[in-house]
Structure 1
Amino acid sequence: MTWIEAVVLGLVQGLTEFLPVSSSGHLRITSALFFDRDAGASFTAVTQLGTEAAVLIYFAKDIGRIVRTWFVGLVDRSVRSSLDYRMGWYVIVGTIPIGIFGLIFKDQIRTAGRNLWLISCTLIIGAMLLAFAEYWGRQTRTLENFRMRDGVVMGFAQAAALVPGVSRSGGTLTAGLLLNLTRETAARYSFLLAIPAVVISGVFSLPDVFEPSAPGTAAPSVAQMVVATLIAFAVGYAAIAWLLRYVAHHTLYVFVLYRVALGSLVICLLATGTISAT
């Protein structure tokens, strides 16, 4: 991997991780379009450690309060009715689907799942689902109304994002809106839900990122990986603040249009032989 490649992909990861546009899909498309190869699923997973570090810092007070209350609630029944205690369980249970499906389909995610025909189609299909949810969701429920059912449904939606192009935040936001949650509530839970899965995935992918098994995959040096992850952290931190402000006052249709446009562009590039699907 070249230094310019590491820097560009770190920027792309930071910019797109929290937007409902699929960061893994963008990394795959950017790699194919500008560098004529694939950075690999492991590179994506490790750079996500940077963006999740941004989540940990941005929501440090909330996360610390939830963790403390959850542990206290294990022995003290009086706090079990609190939102923080329940939120701890919602995140734990919501993480189970992506853990199970990630283990079952690990090989497919790293190979067939990175085909650009698949990514372009999932970008467009995901856009249609997001538009439907934005239009039909009543957005009457806040975090105080969040229930275990919501956590489970959004957990399965997050698991769908194992396929590049689906988008973890896009899937969870879509599910949240269909559950009549407000956009801001769905976004906040989405940030918290991602932490266990992304951190575990990134840590386990560290050995593979420097010695990728897939042919044609770019292998970064340790220094390049560190720089890309730090860039993803810095840009991702800014993206969190922007997205929370944006969803509080705007619809998600701009992301719908962007996904359709990008997916259509990739299909055209594939059809004309400008880029390779694999």
Structure 2
Amino acid sequence: MEIFSAVILGIIQGLTEFLPVSSSAHLILVPWFFGWEPEGLVFDVALHVGTALAVLAFFARDWVRLARETVLGLREGAPLGNPDRKLAWLLVVGTIPAAVAGLWLEELVEARLRSPLITVFTLAGLALLLWYAERRGRQSRPMARYSWGDAAWIGIGQAIALVPGVSRSGVTMTTALLRDSDRVSAARFSFLLSTPVIVGAGMLQACRLLGAGDGGAGLEWPVLLAGVAAAAVTGFLCIKFFLRYLERRSFTPFVIYRLLLAAVVLAFYLKG
């Protein structure tokens, strides 16, 4: 893989990890469109490192505050004593479904569901569901009013995102909207919830890589670093832009984009 390809894929990962358009779909489809060789596990780990750095950097103050309040809450015997303490435990609840599904179903997903045709259906299906959720939901509840049920349902949505084309951010935001969350809170909770999943997925893949004995063999470090840097910088800027965007605008452009992308992929697939 050349540095140019690594940068392009890093930018795609940084954008699509946090926008409701599906990073897995784009990382499958872009090499498919251009006839590039699959990037492999090493580069996949590198891209996860990049997006993990982006979300950790953007929400660094939030995570420090949540960690501090969690420790204080446990020491004081009041783990739910304020909104930050409750939010930390809501994120734990929301993370559990994806962690369980990832460990049990990852091989099935990799073997059976990574195809352009399945991506067509998941891209279009979630687009319509996101459109419906934004119009049906009252958008009246901020993140401070999230319940345990909200966290559990959003976590189940995140688990479904194992299927390529669904979009982790897209399905978690859609679920939050269906639970009457406002748009910005839906996105913010989705991004916070993504942190342990992205970091955990990267660590799991890295452990598998090292366990296979390929951890340092033949790595092209300039290529890997280019992918990491592109994913990290793009991801950080994407989070910042998207949260500001949602303060005044809707998800409609992303719904349209997903439907158009599904149509393009279907056309290419049928064309052979």
| TM more than 0.5 | yes
Whether the aligned pair in 1 keeps the contact of 2:14 and 2:231 (CA below 8 Å) is yes
1:265 corresponding residue in structure 2: 264
Please give the alpha-carbon distance, in whole angstroms, between the structure 2 residues aligned to 1:45 and 1:186.
27
Please give the alpha-carbon distance, in whole angstroms, between the structure 2 residues aligned to 1:40 and 1:258.
27
Structure 1 residue 232, shift from structure 2 partner: 0.3
2:150 corresponding residue in structure 1: 150
Note the alpha carbon deviations across 1:169-195, whole angstroms, 9 max, x for none: 000110000000001001111111111
Whether the aligned pair in 2 keeps the contact of 1:41 and 1:110 (CA below 8 Å) is no
1:231 corresponding residue in structure 2: 230
Please give the alpha-carbon distance, in whole angstroms, between the structure 1 residues aligned to 2:189 and 2:5.
32
Q: Helix, strand or coil: the match of 1:105? A: helix
Please give the alpha-carbon distance, in whole angstroms, between the structure 2 residues aligned to 1:172 and 1:46.
24
For the structure 1 residues 197 and 224, does the alpha-carbon distance in structure 2 shift closer, same or farther, using more than 3 Å as the test?
Answer: same
Structure 1 residue 42, shift from structure 2 partner: 6.5
Please give the alpha-carbon distance, in whole angstroms, between the structure 2 residues aligned to 1:49 and 1:39.
15
Q: Which moved more, 1:36-45 or 1:7-16?
A: 36-45
1:113 corresponding residue in structure 2: 113
1:11 corresponding residue in structure 2: 11
2:74 corresponding residue in structure 1: 74
For the structure 1 residues 47 and 169, does the alpha-carbon distance in structure 2 shift closer, same or farther, using more than 3 Å as the test?
Answer: same
How many residues are matched? 267
Q: Helix, strand or coil: the match of 1:111? A: helix
Q: Helix, strand or coil: the match of 1:75? A: helix
Please give the alpha-carbon distance, in whole angstroms, between the structure 2 residues aligned to 1:166 and 1:144.
27
For the structure 1 residues 104 and 42, does the alpha-carbon distance in structure 2 shift closer, same or farther, using more than 3 Å as the test?
Answer: farther
For the structure 1 residues 178 and 126, does the alpha-carbon distance in structure 2 shift closer, same or farther, using more than 3 Å as the test?
Answer: same
Please give the alpha-carbon distance, in whole angstroms, between the structure 2 residues aligned to 1:255 and 1:220.
36
Structure 1 residue 41, shift from structure 2 partner: 6.6
Matches within 5 A, 1:1-278: 1-40=1-40, 43-44=43-44, 46-78=46-78, 80-206=80-206, 221-273=220-272
User: Percentage identity across aligned positions?
Assistant: 36
Amino acid at match of 1:73: G
Give 5+ residue unaligned stretches, structure 2.
Answer: 213-217
Whether the aligned pair in 2 keeps the contact of 1:130 and 1:256 (CA below 8 Å) is yes
Amino acid at match of 2:111: T
Please give the alpha-carbon distance, in whole angstroms, between the structure 2 residues aligned to 1:254 and 1:248.
15
Q: Normalization by structure 2: what TM-score?
A: 0.92
Whether the aligned pair in 2 keeps the contact of 1:42 and 1:208 (CA below 8 Å) is no
Please give the alpha-carbon distance, in whole angstroms, between the structure 2 residues aligned to 1:249 and 1:200.
33
Please give the alpha-carbon distance, in whole angstroms, between the structure 1 residues aligned to 2:230 and 2:252.
28
Please give the alpha-carbon distance, in whole angstroms, between the structure 1 residues aligned to 2:192 and 2:86.
13
Structure 1 residue 211, shift from structure 2 partner: 11
Please give the alpha-carbon distance, in whole angstroms, between the structure 1 residues aligned to 2:210 and 2:227.
13
Please give the alpha-carbon distance, in whole angstroms, between the structure 1 residues aligned to 2:242 and 2:173.
12
For the structure 1 residues 247 and 261, does the alpha-carbon distance in structure 2 shift closer, same or farther, using more than 3 Å as the test?
Answer: same
Please give the alpha-carbon distance, in whole angstroms, between the structure 1 residues aligned to 2:107 and 2:71.
35
Whether the aligned pair in 1 keeps the contact of 2:138 and 2:180 (CA below 8 Å) is yes
RMSD value, Cα: 2.0
